[in-house]
Amino acid sequence: MARSPDSLSAAPIKAVVFDAYGTLFDVHSVASLAEQLFPGHGDALSHLWRQKQLEYSWLRAMSGRYKPFWDITRDALRFSAERLGVPLPAESEQRLMNQYSSLSAFPENLSALRALKAAGLPLAILSNGNREMIEVSVRSAGMTGLFDHLLSSQEVKTFKTVDRLYALAPEAFGCRPREILFVSSNCWDAVGARWYGYTSFWINRTGAPLDRLDTAPDHIGSLLGDVLAVACPAAA
């Protein structure tokens, strides 16, 4: 069930935009393969890999040193393997990278996306990922045809939470940020989107506390299906 931590007047929602990694696609679905390759280290590798991937994107965004997200993801994997003291031969590295390109979708996502689409709302992905990464992930998850736009950091050569990346969706849909519901499972991303001006929705799947950033997302839920009640109340 979605809840709203603030009482700001709501703008009518004209489009819904989703973060990709961690929101639509489960970044930790690589853990089973990692465990096969590195027994006893799979879960630790998965979590450290994701942590370093995000850290590298933030550092590069702050310093203006853009590098495609695919390459950052590989750099983060290499660091994580070295940090954990596990060997990473080229074949294992490529298997893990291939797995990352076709991450599993969360189980409820397809039905929720189809319901939003059936309600007449245009949908998009806005992601740090480069476009080819997003396209492959969408195809492998069976989501082809559900999105009107696939918006990538590659277009603006920076990462979240830089404004010019968030600006891609209002430009694509031709409406104000507040009329777009931005959905992310990363609290910092949902807050960054709200800073930019979106109506934001945090999918808090793990029951985590709010990030202390002096701003809260407009709405909080635990599943992607909770978005429906906010985006199109009449259809919920």
Give me the active site residues, please.
19
DSSP per residue, 128-166: SS-HHHHHHHHHHTT-TTS-SEEEEGGGTT--TT-HHHH
Give the helix/strand (H/E) hosting 70.
Answer: helix 69-84
Residues contacting 109, CB < 8 A, separation 6+ = 24, 141, 143, 224
Question: What is the rounded distance in angstroms from the CA atom of residue 114 to the CA atom of residue 49?
Answer: 31
With CA atoms as reference, report the closest residue to 206 among 110, 111, 106.
Answer: 106
Helix, strand, coil content of the chain in percent (nearest 5): 50, 15, 35
> Do 86 and 41 meet the contact criterion of CB atoms below 8 Å apart?
yes
Question: What is the rounded distance in angstroms from the CA atom of residue 92 to the CA atom of residue 90?
Answer: 6
